[in-house]
């Protein structure tokens, strides 16, 4: 038997094991569901484009010190406002002579940092509030949902500005402010699903076995809400990036000389007519990443929530 046939046989065996209709263990069933979801997602070409852009962004952020052609903080006033394609500066320089490409590359780290922190704080807080509200009901439901309604009554960016003004400028405070304004939609979604799940025979059987409310919420309701939560988080990432860029644009996010994309746009707006690339390049970066999250989110919605995409 040739070496190629020996290597393809285990791959075919693994694929058959993942695609079986009769899994023999819970682990096999979970892995099979993940693999089938990946096969469905892979058929969505636009979602794969979005995934490719995000993988490229993560790679750039990880390798930023290696691939950046210049130090993003070094100023050279004699080389300020150089155009695209100038010697040693592919995307030109800003008003202080700093290389725009290098600042965009290092700014990817800040963008991913903000996205990761908000994605860990806001959905978890919303999931906790929504599931407790939907499962407990009564006065707890009324109080928690009225608090949620108060947060939803304000525009997200305006409310984030108020929180940052109270907490002080800075990237950590900006992340906290965005998280405080981003959790209400997750709470609403989790509550709606919990109201449907809590009256099912599945939950009634678990309750009859002696499981308490906390165990039911964590072990049985949360896993059923995760798929919808993932889709909503992915689709909301574009708004989170825009909110972070808006705070940076207003000087309330990452502080100079940090290469945050919103702050770079704010700096370049003074030269938008004569030196358009200073503000345009970070704007295109924000556009590309936001579009990537939207494309990937649409693909995940088709895979994880086919009923919603069909409607």
Could you report the per-residue pLDDT of 234-270, keeping only the tens digit for each? 888 888 888 888 888 888 887 878 888 988 898 888 8
| pLDDT reported for residue 12 | 60
Q: What is the Cα–Cα distance from 200 to 46, expressed in whole angstroms?
A: 36
pLDDT at 309: 45
pLDDT in tens, 100-153: 999 999 999 998 898 889 888 999 999 999 999 988 888 988 999 999 999 888
Q: Give the per-residue pLDDT at 286.
A: 93
Is residue 11 included in any domain, yes or no?
A: no
Q: What is the pLDDT of residue 305?
A: 64
Question: Residue 4's pLDDT is what?
Answer: 45
What is the reported pLDDT for 254? 79
Q: Please give the Cα distance from 72 to 19 (Å, whole number).
A: 49
Asked whether residue 25 is domain-assigned, the answer is no
Supply the pLDDT for residue 310.
43
Count of domains in the chain? 1
Residue 19, domain member (yes or no): no
76 domain residue, yes or no: no
Distances (CA, A) of 78 to 69, 73, 75, 277: 18, 15, 9, 18
Answer whether residue 8 is part of any domain: no
| Cα dihedral 300, 122, 133, 30 in deg (nearest 10) | 40
The helix or strand, by DSSP H or E, that contains position 204, with its residue range, turns out to be helix 201-208
Q: Is 96 helix (H, G, I), strand (E, B) or coil?
A: coil
Residue 48 pLDDT level (bands cut at 50, 70, 90): very high
113 occurs within a structural domain = yes
Determine the pLDDT at residue 180: 87
Mean pLDDT of 267-289: 89
Mean pLDDT score of the chain:
84
CB-hemisphere CA count at 13 Å for 261?
29
Structural domain includes residue 50: yes
In terms of C-beta density within 10 A (0-12 exposed, 13-18 middle, 19 or more buried), how is residue 234 classed?
Answer: buried
- CATH at 222: 1.10.3720.10
Which pLDDT score is estimated for 66? 92
What percent of the chain is predicted at pLDDT more than 90? 23
Q: Which domain holds residue 207?
A: 37-71+83-310
In a domain, 112, yes or no: yes
Tokens matching residue 83: 């155009």
- Average the pLDDT over 196-224 and give the result: 83
pLDDT at residue 1, rounded to an integer: 45
91 three-class SS: coil
């Amino acid at each position: 038997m040739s070496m190629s046939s020996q290597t393809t046989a285990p791959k075919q065996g693994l694929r058959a094991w993942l695609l079986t209709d009769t899994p023999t263990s819970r682990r096999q069933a979970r892995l099979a569901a993940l693999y089938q979801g990946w096969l469905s997602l892979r058929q969505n070409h636009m979602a794969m484009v979005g995934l490719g852009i995000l993988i490229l962004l993560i790679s750039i952020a990880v390798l930023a010190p290696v691939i950046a052609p210049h130090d993003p903080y070094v100023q050279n006033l004699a080389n300020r406002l150089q155009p695209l394609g100038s010697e040693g500066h592919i995307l030109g320089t800003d008003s202080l002579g700093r290389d725009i490409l290098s600042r965009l590359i290092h700014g990817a780290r800040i963008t991913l940092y903000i996205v990761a922190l908000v994605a860990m704080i806001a959905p978890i807080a919303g999931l906790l509030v929504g599931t407790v509200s939907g499962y407990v009901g009564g006065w707890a439901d009324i109080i928690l949902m009225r608090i949620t309604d108060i947060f939803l009554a304000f525009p997200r960016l305006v409310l984030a500005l108020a929180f940052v003004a109270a907490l002080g400028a800075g990237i950590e405070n900006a992340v906290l402010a965005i998280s405080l304004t981003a959790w209400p939609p997750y709470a609403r979604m989790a509550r709606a699903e919990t109201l449907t799940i809590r009256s099912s025979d599945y939950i009634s059987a678990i309750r009859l076995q002696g499981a308490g409310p906390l165990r039911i919420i964590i072990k049985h309701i949360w896993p059923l809400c995760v798929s919808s939560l993932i889709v909503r988080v992915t689709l909301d990432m574009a708004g989170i990036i825009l909110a972070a860029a808006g705070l940076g644009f207003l000087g309330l996010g990452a502080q100079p000389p940090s290469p945050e994309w919103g702050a770079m746009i704010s700096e370049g707006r003074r030269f938008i007519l004569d030196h358009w690339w200073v503000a345009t390049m970070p704007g295109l970066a924000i556009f590309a990443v936001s579009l990537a999250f939207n494309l990937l989110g649409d693909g995940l919605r088709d895979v994880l929530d086919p009923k919603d995409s069909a409607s």
